[in-house]
């Protein structure tokens, strides 16, 4: 049973239903794999006692309900540290939330656990989800399970959901939860050779998920296959009255939509994404992906998204502005870290010292940028203008879809995974460029999915991104399923940890 952790959600569901193994055995296999993978630093809080209790409860439910049991019953998941989990440390990888034990459960995890899903532990991430390499975490960086051929250099798994990506790619859990504000699910998925889905804004509740940029954040699944992404999204999605941005829409059967037949569908290729300096391998993979979708029956059409070049600047005004507002609540008074004060210190000193001690360099940088662009005299020049650009970017996508395009194909990242330390300290702006293909999707509130589609010359995974219509996750997953089948990506990292 040592290979149980390597199963997909669909395979494990089938095995549990057939009685080939129990949820306890499945969970024990994942816990053992995670315990043995400490060099990856992907899982920062293992919860074995709670996991086995949940597994036993799932086994009892499977025995009593049989085929009527929910699809996720008994399946072990990793949960990003951004999700509040009742009674389990949840600190968004930040020192300022050290010791915070939420007295409540986030809505996405509550839904999954109500279906019988099992939590093996909390996965590492960039602090407050701010980063593209998982190097800003108070727990230390996550290591990608993949390595370049002939090298033992540690690579980034991407960020901010790097712990979830690394855990899924290394078979420490069957799937994991991530969040995506500007590419934080899709970029790490591409770097680690897994599937990452960012749903339409409002499809999954944000209640109980620690906020970064509230108009951009969206939780989603990180899985080994497109089918698994459909299964996990089904368990997470749905209207939540506790979240004012949650959409009161019926949730379709995402798994049933997976046909892989794209006849009559039109896939757009945006000319603006052919950027100067794009690696030849990325461009070749993009062209190959278009051919794969064409072979599946789709019509490939050139489209234009003229405001794409303004997306990164707009994103890095809007996201820090919202972050500076959201992070103002961490003051050392109500919860989390509280700095030690001298006899002469007052409340302002408490705020300043607590935040100086508790926030890392990248978070401080973004809070300061956000405070600046929201300040009197600069609000109109920066924040208001960025919001206008955001509207234009959304209109570009609307026009493409109104013209009959069903999905849009782009690269997921501008490169394969790079080395830990290669960018973080040298040039923060260069790090931000990793989000060049993903931020437009968040600004427009659209669903996007990263699918592994090949390896580069060094044997590292490369991904392609598909972008869908608003609320069109079912059709998007179907297109991704066709791409996945055509690419036939089945490579796994060599176990070195």
Catalytic residues: 80, 160, 184
Is the Cα dihedral 184, 467, 313, 317 positive or negative?
negative
Residue 18 to residue 108: CA distance in whole angstroms: 28
Scan for tokens 């794009």, then name that residue: 278
Residue 261 to residue 226: CA distance in whole angstroms: 15
Residue 426 to residue 417: CA distance in whole angstroms: 17
Is the Cα dihedral 440, 445, 449, 450 positive or negative?
positive
**Do residues 219 and 202 make contact, with C-beta atoms less than 8 angstroms apart?**
no
**Do residues 269 and 285 make contact, with C-beta atoms less than 8 angstroms apart?**
no
**Do residues 122 and 102 make contact, with C-beta atoms less than 8 angstroms apart?**
no
Give which of 266, 197, 311 is closest to 409, Cα–Cα.
266
Give which of 441, 393, 444 is closest to 197, Cα–Cα.
441
């Amino acid at each position: 049973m040592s290979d149980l952790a390597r199963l997909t959600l669909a395979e494990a569901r089938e095995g549990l239903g057939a009685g080939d193994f129990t949820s306890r055995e499945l969970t024990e296999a994942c816990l053992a794999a995670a315990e043995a993978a400490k060099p990856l630093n992907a899982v920062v809080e293992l919860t074995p006692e709670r996991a086995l209790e949940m597994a036993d409860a799932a086994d009892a439910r499977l025995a009593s309900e049989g085929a009527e049991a929910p699809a996720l019953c008994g399946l072990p998941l990793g949960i990003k540290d951004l999700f509040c989990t009742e009674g389990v440390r949840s600190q968004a990888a930040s020192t300022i939330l050290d010791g915070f034990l939420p007295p409540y459960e986030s809505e996405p995890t509550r839904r999954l656990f109500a279906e019988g899903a099992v939590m093996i532990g909390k996965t590492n991430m960039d602090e407050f989800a701010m980063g593209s390499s998982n190097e800003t975490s108070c727990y230390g960086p996550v290591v990608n399970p993949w390595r370049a051929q002939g090298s033992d250099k540690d690579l980034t798994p991407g960020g901010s959901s790097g712990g979830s990506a690394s855990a899924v790619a290394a078979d420490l859990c069957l799937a994991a939860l991530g969040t995506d504000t500007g590419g934080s699910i899709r970029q790490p998925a591409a770097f680690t050779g897994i599937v990452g889905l960012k749903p339409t804004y409002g499809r999954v509740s944000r209640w109980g998920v620690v906020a970064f940029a509230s108009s951009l954040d969206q939780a989603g699944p990180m899985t080994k296959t497109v089918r698994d992404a459909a299964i996990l999204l089904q368990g997470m999605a749905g209207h939540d009255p506790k979240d004012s941005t949650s959409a009161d829409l019926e949730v379709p059967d995402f798994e049933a939509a997976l046909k892989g037949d794209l006849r009559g569908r039109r896939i757009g290729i945006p000319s603006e994404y052919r950027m100067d300096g794009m690696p030849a391998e990325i461009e070749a993979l993009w062209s190959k992906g278009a051919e794969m979708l064409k072979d599946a029956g789709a019509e490939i059409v050139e489209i234009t998204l003229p405001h794409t070049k303004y997306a990164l600047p707009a994103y890095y005004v809007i996201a820090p502005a919202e972050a500076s507002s959201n992070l103002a609540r961490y003051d050392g008074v109500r919860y989390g870290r509280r700095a030690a004060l001298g006899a002469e210190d007052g409340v302002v000193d408490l705020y300043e010292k607590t935040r100086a001690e508790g926030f890392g360099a990248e978070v401080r940088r973004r809070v300061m940028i956000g405070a600046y662009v929201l300040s009197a005299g600069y609000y109109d020049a920066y924040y208001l203008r960025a919001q206008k650009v955001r509207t234009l970017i959304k209109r570009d996508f609307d026009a493409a879809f109104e013209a009959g395009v069903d999905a849009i194909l782009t690269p997921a990242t501008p490169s394969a995974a790079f080395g830990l330390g290669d960018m973080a300290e040298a040039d923060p702006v260069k790090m931000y460029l990793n989000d060049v293909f993903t931020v437009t999707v968040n600004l427009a509130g659209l669903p996007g999915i990263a699918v592994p589609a090949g390896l580069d010359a060094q044997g590292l995974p490369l991904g392609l991104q598909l972008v869908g219509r608003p609320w069109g996750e079912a059709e998007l997953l179907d297109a991704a399923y066709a791409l996945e089948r055509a690419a036939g990506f089945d490579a796994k990292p060599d176990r070195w940890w």
